[in-house]
Amino acid sequence: MTESKRKEALVDPRFGERYEFLRTAEETGGELVRVEVTAAPGPSRRPASAHPEQEERFTVLSGTLGVRVGKEERVLGAGEELVVPAGVAHLPYNAGEGEVRFVAEVRPAGRFEGFLRAMVEADNTGREGMAYLLTAAQVLSAFGDVEHPTPLPLPLERAVFRALASMGRLLGYRLRG
């Protein structure tokens, strides 16, 4: 598979990350989404999460990538890979002094690409505290089949995010999509 000539990038200043689509779901017939991620140094503020129906492969291009998989910590350098099976909670983070660049490949593509676009949009609203939570809940409610960010049982998590998303919309915290 060749990489896409078009390199669309999403910038997420909230978490100091940049995502560049290398292969999209459309280009691969739904087989995968491949994204180059650049992350600034410092600890991740994201929660660990799982993809209920998709595996994710991380390949380090430069820097040091830490990945918490369940309770295990892995540290990877340039050229190293790690595959996280579907349903397993994980958290990739920059474990080095400088920025880290890695490729994240999600199989099958499913709706991951749409989730990433919507989450970056939510992260770019400038909202904080409860306003941000009510905004992000709309994304997590809409993409429950893609991202499972809490230790709650999946049906309970989905009900919580649906309720928070409804509250956010009622209060006017909407996204374009």
pLDDT tens figures, 141-168: 999 999 999 888 989 999 999 999 999 9
**Structure-token pair, residue 138:** 């709309």
Average pLDDT over residues 119-135: 95
Confidence of residue 46 (pLDDT cuts 50, 70, 90): confident
Which amino acid makes up residue 26?
Answer: E
For 121, the 3-state DSSP assignment is: helix
For 107, the 3-state DSSP assignment is: strand
What pTM value is reported for the model? 0.91
Confidence of residue 44 (pLDDT cuts 50, 70, 90): confident
- Interhelix angle 129-142/154-170, rounded to 10 degrees, is 120
- Interhelix angle 129-142/112-123, rounded to 10 degrees, is 170
CA atoms within 13 A on the CB side of 144: 16
Average pLDDT over residues 52-77: 96
What is the topology classification, in CATH, of domain 9-107? Jelly Rolls (2.60.120)
φ/ψ (deg, to 5) at 40: -70, 160
Q: Measured between alpha carbons, how far is 106 from 53 in angstroms, rounded to an integer? A: 10
Average pLDDT over residues 94-100: 95
Q: Where are the domains of the chain?
A: 9-107, 112-170
Measured torsion, CA atoms of residues 138, 140, 142, 146, in degrees rounded to the nearest 10? 160
User: Above pLDDT 70, what percent of the chain?
Assistant: 96
